[in-house]
Amino acid sequence: MKQIVVVGAGPAGMMAAIKAAENGAEVTILEKMKKPGRKMMITGKGRCNITNAADVPEIIRNIHGNGRFLNSSMRAFDNQDVIYFFEGLGVPTKVERGNRVFPVSDKAQDVVDAMVERLHELGVAIETDTAVKDILTQEGKAAGVRTKTGAIYKADAVILCVGGASYPGTGSTGDGYEMAKALGHSIAAVRPSLVPLVAEDEWVKDVQGLSLRNVRGTLRVDGEKVAEMFGEMMFTHYGVTGPIILSMSRTASEYLAEQDRFVELSINLKPALSEEKLDARIQRDFEKYQRKQLGNALVDLLPHKLIGPVLDSAFLAPDKPVHQITVEERHRLVEALQDLTLVITGTRPLAEAIVTVGGVSVKEINPKTMESKLVPGLYFAGEVVDVDGYTGGYNLQAAFSMGAAAGNWCVWND
């Protein structure tokens, strides 16, 4: 019976342990936190977006950080397999907008509890409050691990699933990068993804907490469009967040890491309307509120908090009577409504990111088995690997697919 040690009890680690145990291995999970699945508990705002119901090629396209690396592992254990897996554990699922798959209960706790119960059924030992210091090798092969207290766990294979460097309070503190690096692995530069953006514009503080739906965000760098998303966003005291912002943040962080790049976010508040139709809509409102001041004539068109920033962007005074607005001023208002611009100066810290960009280089990992090409018997899965995707269940799917591959092949490989 093979002895397998899994380092980390997140989604990838628990899936790897389950698959290894189902294949007859004796498995031990070492988890530094007090409970397994800490980061899973906060995914999907506590609802756990376990996967996406799109077809596999579409999922891979939405894993913009080395998605093609997952071709083999995801086809071996795809999104339908994930759904069947959880439904088999008594966690029924549902599909919501954007093909996002959630447990019917809307409780991440149910997902974690189901995996932990399956681990117990299989006789997997879960040792919490146990932080691993380094991976041991013998004759060039992985032979076990040493904990920070000096305890040694011998193994025929080690699966490293300690996560990235985001949300360190859940246990993802970047430890895995150092362990892998010590064995000769290259670590792709680490930076935040799925993270809020920081704006220099003071007015965002006045509109903090305001959510917008059905808007189009365009990220521009030095005046050139580099990303565009349609959907929801929200203003905060430091800048912007929400689904479309998080999805564009990976691109933003890439350019922000370079010197002397001017990054800005353009918000089209009325993307469903052409300039002509929006102008016609404004004229109707002006006719309705012709005896009012401009600032009071936009209440049907905009949330109250945004009227000031939009008028400032259009260089229009809120107290100017509507009947005095010129055609040229009205056109400036149309432009401001469809190109409300913020200067982006940074991202929130990596500790606040949902996902880490970077990690163990995929060039040094067998994409079919997840085994290290440098150290036989060492496997990787999850966010410690240089793989990351958009919001929508793609990152958890990647973790489950990699974990399943590592858990299967660590037993099947000689």
Averaged pLDDT of the chain: 96
The CA distance from 79 to 372, in Å, is 25
Q: DSSP per residue over 25-64, as a string? A: -EEEEE-SSSSTTTTGGGGGGGT---EE-S-HHHHHHT-T
The label of the residue with tokens 């899994």 reads 6
The stretch 117-136 carries a mean pLDDT of 98
Whether residue 246 lies inside any domain: the answer is: yes
Percent residues over pLDDT 90 in the chain: 93
Of 300, 319, 347, the residue at which a domain comes to its end is 347
Asked whether residue 203 falls in the same domain as residue 324, the answer is yes
Whether residue 352 lies inside any domain: the answer is: no
pLDDT digits (tens, 9 = 90+) for 311-345: 999 999 999 999 999 999 999 999 999 999 999 99
The stretch 6-31 carries a mean pLDDT of 98
Query: What confidence score (pLDDT) does residue 143 get?
Result: 98
Asked whether residue 12 falls in the same domain as residue 152, the answer is yes
Query: What confidence score (pLDDT) does residue 369 get?
Result: 98
Asked whether residue 183 falls in the same domain as residue 203, the answer is no
Asked whether residue 43 falls in the same domain as residue 64, the answer is yes
Asked whether residue 229 falls in the same domain as residue 260, the answer is yes
Q: Quick one: CA dihedral 306, 310, 313, 318, positive or negative?
A: negative
Q: Which CATH number do you get for residue 256?
A: 1.10.8.50
For the chain, how far is it from start to end, CA to CA, in angstroms?
Answer: 12
Asked whether residue 222 falls in the same domain as residue 267, the answer is yes
Query: What confidence score (pLDDT) does residue 221 get?
Result: 98
What is the enclosing helix (H) or strand (E) of 334?
helix 327-338
Whether residue 354 lies inside any domain: the answer is: no
Whether residue 16 lies inside any domain: the answer is: yes
Asked whether residue 384 falls in the same domain as residue 408, the answer is yes
Query: What confidence score (pLDDT) does residue 45 get?
Result: 86
Total structural domains in the chain?
Answer: 2
Q: Which CATH number do you get for residue 79?
A: 3.50.50.60
Other Cβ atoms closer than 10 A to 184: 10
Whether residue 71 lies inside any domain: the answer is: yes
Which domain covers residue 41, as residue numbers?
3-188+359-412
Asked whether residue 102 falls in the same domain as residue 224, the answer is no
pLDDT digits (tens, 9 = 90+) for 209-247: 999 999 999 999 999 999 999 999 999 999 999 999 999
Backbone φ, ψ for residue 232 (5° rounding): -110, 150
Q: Looking at this protein, which amino acid is placed at residue 338?
A: Q
Name the 3-class secondary structure at 71. helix
The stretch 71-98 carries a mean pLDDT of 97
Whether residue 64 lies inside any domain: the answer is: yes
Asked whether residue 209 falls in the same domain as residue 125, the answer is no
Asked whether residue 36 falls in the same domain as residue 126, the answer is yes
Query: What confidence score (pLDDT) does residue 414 get?
Result: 76
pLDDT digits (tens, 9 = 90+) for 159-204: 999 999 887 878 888 999 999 999 999 999 999 999 999 999 999 9
Asked whether residue 293 falls in the same domain as residue 392, the answer is no
Of 347, 374, 393, the residue at which a domain comes to its end is 347
Asked whether residue 234 falls in the same domain as residue 145, the answer is no
Of 295, 314, 347, the residue at which a domain comes to its end is 347
